[in-house]
């Protein structure tokens, strides 16, 4: 059995303002597809005989991940929640330990959730080449056939060819200088390190115990003391926080003598910047890549993403312009790596635009903060069929709900009643209340908040079907 292990951590800060802390790039639709990066990663495995994926993600992304799996019809897939980040070696160890417990000793295909693969057939061919090697006990890494002297990736030097395909690994090397990268490309012996792997779960655990036993011990304790919450696996935070942080490359792959590199030439990109999206995007006759409502005059070699309104460009070249409902980025293509510094400035200034979009996703649906001012805030709320907000109250604000479409089941103190289209209801300050969608279509309503404090932390929850505190 081949089990995909999808690593869906990371913040994607170089893709701000589209990628945010609570909605990072792996959950966004970025390439020429209707799927998110995570969903596309899973879907490209459709032609392989694989089991349900095991997803590894941050605690704060759990409902976003679960919803995207639900959209693929994979509600039963397990989601491992990391209470703190400890890099890839411990994350994969958790997945391998769980796989051994529940499925014997499957072969694991470890993939990142935010990679782009343009040639799926070539990708699947490399997977099929790697599978018998992994079954035989090898630890396979996939080396990307380089297309240019890239200084932003680590490299793998190939050794002698091995029976069944692939090459022995001579060494892993760090990100090189431009001169060194040019030498690597000219030699034909070096490949980009993709961060994708395949091996039996037991073989990875054996090698981890050999080279980094502290990691394996901490992961065993964290998983053993953890608990299952529907399809979420919550590992013990105290045990996992003691685990050394290390990548799979440093912890195992650079040390083991059982590493094999299988070449992969499939139009791969890790979409690490806006320049990468321009490079892989479909360009017009003037070299532009446009997303959304864009009107251009004398614009060349630019990337423009209009998220919510018309963006017009006149007489510009080599720019990246990204518009969202609450922020606009304008950058020269030569400086897109510095977008991360904008995020750091937002953090330092105590702003929130790096954390979330104006549209915020919740396990019950989403809300859009469409207006705010002194002592008031207006939200458009969407509640999915069968979903329910927590039973809660607020110390500092009252709420007025106006139903736009669908039917709301409202708990207001000791009363429970239905509110339908063009009707409204009022929740006083301090009143215990709840909102539920009992229907089969999404519930859309406008919420007007008023009071002395309107922060999201003014919520006292008494009951919550999604396990939130």
58 and 40 housed in the same domain: yes
- Determine the distance from the C-alpha atom of residue 372 to the mean position of all C-alpha atoms in its chain, rounded to a whole number: 29
Total count of domains within the chain: 3
Task: Kindly state whether residue 354 falls inside one of the protein's structural domains.
Answer: no
Of 143, 356, 354, 417, whose CA–CA distance to 253 is shortest?
143
Q: Phi first, then psi: what are they for 458, rounded to 5°?
A: -85, 60
Task: Name the domain boundary from 237, 269, 301.
Answer: 269
Contacts of 25 (CB under 8 A, 6+ apart): 10, 12, 15, 18, 19, 37, 114, 271
Residues 44 and 53: their CA atoms lie apart, in Å, by 12
Of 17, 36, 15, whose CA–CA distance to 26 is shortest?
36
312 and 184 housed in the same domain: no
Give the tens place of pLDDT for each residue, 413-446: 999 999 999 999 999 999 999 999 999 999 999 9
141 and 17 housed in the same domain: yes
211 and 280 housed in the same domain: no
pLDDT on residue 418: 98
322 and 383 housed in the same domain: no
Task: Kindly state whether residue 293 falls inside one of the protein's structural domains.
Answer: yes
Percent of the chain with pLDDT over 70: 100
Please answer whether residues 106 and 1 qualify as being in contact, where contact means their C-beta atoms are separated by less than 8 angstroms: yes
Task: Name the domain boundary from 243, 269, 295.
Answer: 269
Task: Kindly state whether residue 89 falls inside one of the protein's structural domains.
Answer: yes
* Antiparallel, parallel or unpaired: β 190-200 and 139-144: antiparallel
Q: What are the distances in angstroms from CA 258 to CA 89, 151, 367?
A: 17, 27, 50
Task: Kindly state whether residue 260 falls inside one of the protein's structural domains.
Answer: yes
209 and 109 housed in the same domain: yes
Please answer whether residues 81 and 59 qualify as being in contact, where contact means their C-beta atoms are separated by less than 8 angstroms: yes
160 and 252 housed in the same domain: yes
103 and 227 housed in the same domain: yes
> What are the structure tokens assigned to 95, written together?
């997945």
Instruction: Please report, for the domain that includes residue 249, its CATH number.
Output: 3.90.550.10
Task: Kindly state whether residue 340 falls inside one of the protein's structural domains.
Answer: yes
The total of other beta-carbon atoms located within 10 Å of residue 165's CB is 17
Please answer whether residues 82 and 243 qualify as being in contact, where contact means their C-beta atoms are separated by less than 8 angstroms: no
Task: Kindly state whether residue 469 falls inside one of the protein's structural domains.
Answer: no
Domain that holds residue 443: 359-463
> What residue has token string 């690593």?
7
Instruction: Please report, for the domain that includes residue 454, its CATH number.
Output: 2.60.120.10
226 and 314 housed in the same domain: no
144 and 212 housed in the same domain: yes
CB neighbour class for 205 (10 Å; exposed up to 12, middle 13-18, buried from 19):
buried
Instruction: Identify the helix (H) or strand (E) that includes residue 169.
Output: strand 167-173
Task: Name the domain boundary from 295, 315, 346.
Answer: 346
79 and 157 housed in the same domain: yes
234 and 144 housed in the same domain: yes
Task: Kindly state whether residue 352 falls inside one of the protein's structural domains.
Answer: no
Task: Kindly state whether residue 308 falls inside one of the protein's structural domains.
Answer: yes
- Determine the distance from the C-alpha atom of residue 96 to the mean position of all C-alpha atoms in its chain, rounded to a whole number: 20
Per residue of the chain (469 residues), give pLDDT as tens.
899 999 998 888 999 999 999 999 999 998 777 899 999 999 999 999 999 999 999 988 998 999 899 999 998 999 999 998 899 999 999 999 999 999 899 999 999 999 999 999 999 999 999 999 999 999 999 999 999 998 889 999 999 999 888 999 999 999 999 999 999 999 999 999 999 999 999 999 999 999 999 999 999 999 999 998 878 999 999 999 999 999 999 999 999 999 999 999 999 999 989 999 999 999 999 999 999 999 999 999 999 999 999 999 999 999 999 999 999 999 999 999 999 999 999 999 999 999 988 888 888 999 999 999 999 999 999 999 999 999 999 999 999 999 999 999 999 999 999 999 999 999 999 999 999 999 999 999 999 999 999 988 899 999 998 877 7
């Amino acid at each position: 059995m081949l089990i995909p292990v999808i690593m869906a951590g990371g913040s994607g800060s170089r893709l701000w303002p589209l990628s945010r802390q609570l909605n990072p790039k792996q959950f966004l639709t970025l390439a020429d597809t209707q799927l998110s990066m995570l969903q596309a990663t899973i879907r490209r495995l459709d032609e392989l005989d694989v089991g349900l994926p095991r997803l590894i993600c941050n605690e704060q992304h759990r409902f976003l991940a679960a919803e995207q799996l639900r959209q693929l019809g994979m509600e039963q897939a397990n989601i491992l929640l990391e209470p703190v980040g400890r890099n890839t070696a411990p994350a994969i160890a958790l997945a391998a330990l769980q796989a051994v417990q529940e499925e014997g000793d499957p072969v694991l295909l470890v993939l990142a959730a935010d990679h782009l693969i343009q040639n799926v057939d070539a990708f699947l061919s490399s997977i099929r080449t790697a599978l018998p090697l992994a079954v035989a006990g090898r630890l396979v890494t996939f080396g990307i056939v380089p297309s240019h002297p890239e200084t932003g990736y680590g490299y793998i030097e190939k050794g002698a060819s091995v029976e069944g395909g692939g090459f022995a690994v001579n060494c892993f090397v760090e990100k090189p200088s431009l001169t060194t990268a040019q030498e690597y490309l000219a030699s034909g012996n070096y490949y980009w390190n993709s961060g994708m792997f395949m091996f039996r779960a037991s073989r990875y655990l054996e090698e981890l115990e050999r080279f980094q036993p502290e990691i394996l011990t901490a992961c065993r304790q964290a998983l053993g003391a953890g608990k299952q919450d529907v399809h979420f696996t919550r590992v013990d935070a105290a045990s996992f926080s003691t685990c050394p942080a290390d990548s799979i490359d440093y912890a195992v792959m650079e040390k083991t003598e059982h590493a094999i590199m299988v070449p992969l030439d499939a139009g791969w990109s890790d979409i690490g910047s806006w320049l990468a999206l321009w490079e892989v995007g479909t360009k017009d006759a003037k070299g532009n890549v446009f997303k959304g409502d864009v009107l251009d005059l004398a614009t060349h070699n630019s990337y423009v993403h209009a998220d919510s309104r018309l963006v017009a460009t006149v007489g510009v070249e080599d720019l990246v312009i990204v518009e969202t409902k609450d922020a606009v980025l304008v950058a020269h293509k030569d400086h897109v790596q510095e977008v991360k510094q904008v995020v750091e400035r937002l953090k330092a200034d105590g702003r929130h635009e790096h954390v979330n979009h104006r549209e915020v996703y919740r396990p019950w649906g989403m809300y859009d903060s469409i207006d705010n001012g002194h002592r008031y805030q207006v939200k458009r709320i969407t509640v999915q069929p069968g979903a329910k907000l927590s039973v809660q109250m607020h110390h500092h604000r009252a709420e007025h709900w106006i139903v736009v479409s669908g039917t709301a089941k409202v708990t207001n103190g000791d009363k429970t009643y239905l509110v339908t289209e063009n009707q409204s209801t009022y929740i006083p300050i301090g009143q215990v209340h709840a909102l539920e969608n009992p229907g089969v279509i999404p519930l859309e309503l406008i919420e007007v908040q008023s009071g002395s404090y309107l922060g999201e932390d003014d919520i006292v929850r008494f009951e919550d079907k999604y396990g939130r505190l």
